Every structure is written in structure tokens, then in C-alpha cells.
Chain A
Amino acid sequence: GENVEQHPSTLSVQEGDSAVIKCTYSDSASNYFPWYKQELGKRPQLIIDIRSNVGEKKDQRIAVTLNKTAKHFSLHITETQPEDSAVYFCAASIMLSTNAGKSTFGDGTTLTVKP
């Protein structure tokens, strides 16, 4: 089955700096890669996603890149703010035309943004 590795497990940055979180996946059939932010005791919330036919996507301070050949994708947060502090999860999903699909999550990265 799919295996998703996420690094680093913890990341501490100064406010205003950039943060980068990287994930690798093993199953070349994965075709959808969402990133979730989870605050303590809350539900995961989608912050950005990318599909396998796209190499890069940006939404204000957040961007995601995908390298299908190398099977890795990365989350980039620029101009970090203290409210960006949370656990971030990547996921690799296999979405087929006939069913609801399946997602495998990474272990998570605890991001701390110091004011």
C-alpha cells in the first residue's frame, strides 16, 4: 500500500521567515495531494491541494509543489505569522473515476512560529 513520509516532524521559525515541509509517497497511482492544518483539539482543515497534472499551485502565502517523477511534494509558507502555528499533515490520495478513493496521511509536522 501507499507509504507517505513527512519531514521534519517539528519546525520552529521566526515570524516573517519561510517554512518548508516535505513529503514523499510511494504509490505512483496517487493523483491528489492535499495539505491540512490541524490546531490543537480541532478538525483537520484543508489549506491547499494539488492534483497530479499540476506542478505548482499558490494561494497567497501558501504554495505547494509536486514532482511526480521523484514522488515528492512540498508545502511552502512565506511570511509566517504566529497564527500559522499548528500541526500540518500532507496526504497522498488515489482518486478513481468510480469510487470515493483512499487517502494516506503523513505523520505530521508541528510548526511553531515565534513572535
Chain B
Amino acid sequence: EPEVTQTPSHQVTQMGQEVILRCVPISNHLYFYWYRQILGQKVEFLVSFYNNEISEKSEIFDDQFSVERPDGSNFTLKIRSTKLEDSAMYFCASSPLGGAAYNEQFFGPGTRLTVL
């Protein structure tokens, strides 16, 4: 069964550094999402993406964050200048349908980001 994949599984970085988290959504999916989950807390929506543009974003998704679908298969989340509070598990998700025909979002295994 096809799955969403994410790399790396764990990323350690120094405060102020840029990080890029990578996701490969399921191949025929059209809608893409990033979420984060601080250890022991709830899942928080960051951004959704469709048709090569951002659909929705949360208050967390400020100017330090950006997303891109550079080559038709990868979906990336970039954090320009990481802060300590960016340490979290970042989940990518994709969905085959959206809008009025909304359907299940399939989550990737996550990337654990640790900012020192």
C-alpha cells in the first residue's frame, strides 16, 4: 500500500540555522499538508497546499516558514532561521481529494526536529 514518506527521520540543528524537511506524498494525491506536534501536545495545523499554491495557513506559519513542491513529487517545508520553540515532530500529509469531495488525509511518519 502506498505511503507518505518523510526525510530525515530526525534532524538536529543549531538555533538560527535553516532547515528543509522533505516529504514525498502518495503519487496520485493532489492536496498536501504540514502539521507539527510538540512532544506530548496536540497536532497543530501549519499549512495546506493545492495547485502549486498555499490554500490555508495558521498563525504559526509566519514569514520564517515556506513550502514548495519543487519537482512534482517532493513537498518541502523550510524554516529559515530556527528557534528553540521550533523543536517538534513535523508531519506531512496528503489527500487524494479535497474541497467539496474531502477525504482522508494520509500522514507520513514524521521528522523530529531538535533545535539546540
Contact = CB atoms under 8 A, between A and B. Distances in A.
Given A43-B109, A49-B104, A102 B43 contact: no
A105 B43 contact: yes
Contacts of B59: 1
Given A99-B48, A101-B55, A89 B104 contact: no
Interface of A: 1, 31-32, 34, 36, 38, 42-46, 49, 51, 89, 91, 93-108
Contacts, number: 77
B104 A34 contact: yes
B91 A43 contact: yes
B28 to A, nearest CB: 15
Given A43-B91, A99-B50, A100-B50, A34 B105 contact: yes
Contacts of A96: 99-100
A106 to B, nearest CB: 7
B99 A101 contact: yes
A101 B43 contact: no
Contacts of A107: 41-42
B39 to A, nearest CB: 10
A50 to B, nearest CB: 11
Contacts of A106: 42
